Amino acid sequence: MTEKNVTEYLQEHGFEKLHLKAVLFDMDGVLFDSMPTHARAWAETSEHYHLGLTESEAYENEGRTAKSTLNILFQRNEGRDATEEEIKEIYAYKIKVYNTYNAETIPMKGAAEIMKKIRQDGFQIILVTGSGQDTLMARLQKFYPGVFTKDVMVTAKNVNHGKPHPEPYLKGLQLANVHPWEAVVVENAPLGVRSAVNAKIFTIALNTGPMKDEKLLNEGANILFHSMQEFCDEWDRIKKYLQ
């Protein structure tokens, strides 16, 4: 199975071989089981500001910066982008609601274990997230101590264009100093998968949310697992095809 997926990937991009040096991880829905809370916080924020965003739409827009999501909603409702002030106010409200649930501190089962394996195998680990929340560093340090320093992180603050634009993952490649065929991406969101695929990186989708597998596969994911734990358990089998 994995061998065929790798062959298809190489053919699609005209690369000769995969030679793994770095694993690029998305954060929400991958390292933290935070998506249900994000979706709920967005839905409540939408209700407060009459934005017309449903919880399932929040899942579908995962990976976008808050600014991008709000501009889509404002365009739909009022035919214009949101102003900087509106974005600031609404995003602050969303973070406030999110923090009341205090669920951001739930690490994804299997995440610490797979990172330990990847480090033991000698591969770099890079974080590529659309999040810009200031509490990011603290919770990464708490649950994944010593893995994520600022020089291995791409956040909403480091990019001009968020996912689905390829820029975040291209920046991740730059940080690792590797070519696209020397990395894999681990992503749970359709727009994140699209960003990684557009950056020509082999993309491992984790369907950790309520959507259908097809949503992720249709964006070009090269292989799909249904949990971080499954990916972790399969790592020793699949890694030989990636290097």
The residues that touch Mg ion, with contacts defined as CB under 5 A, are 26, 28-29, 188-189
Nearer to Mg ion, 6 or 216 (CB): 216
Grouping H, G, I as helix, E, B as strand and the rest as coil, residue 216 is helix
Least distance CB 188 / Mg ion (angstroms):
4
Considering beta carbons, is residue 29 or 172 the nearer one to Mg ion?
A: 29
The residue with its CB nearest to Mg ion is 29
Shortest Å, Cβ 38 to Mg ion: 9
| Distance separating the N- and C-terminal Cα atoms of the chain | 16
DSSP string, 84-147: HHHHHHHHHHHHHHHHHHT-TT-BPTTHHHHHHHHHHTT-EEEEE-S---TTHHHHHHHHSTTT
Q: How near is the Cβ of 185 to Mg ion at its closest, in Å?
A: 11
> Smaller CB distance to Mg ion: residue 28 or 104?
28
Q: Which is nearer to Mg ion, 189 or 196 (CB)?
A: 189
- Cβ-based nearer residue to Mg ion, 29 or 168: 29
CB of 35 to Mg ion, least distance (A): 7
Length of the chain: 243
How far is 43 from 35, CA to CA, in rounded Å? 12
Task: Give me the phi and psi of 189, to 5 degrees please.
Answer: -110, 140
Residue 191: its H or E element: helix 190-198
Q: How far is the CB of 1 from Mg ion (least distance, A)?
A: 24
Q: Least distance (Å) from Mg ion to the CB of residue 122?
A: 26
Structure tokens belonging to residue 31: 């390292």
Cα torsion for 181, 183, 188, 193, to the nearest 10°? -30
In this complex, which beta carbon is closest to Mg ion, that of residue 118 or of residue 191?
A: 191
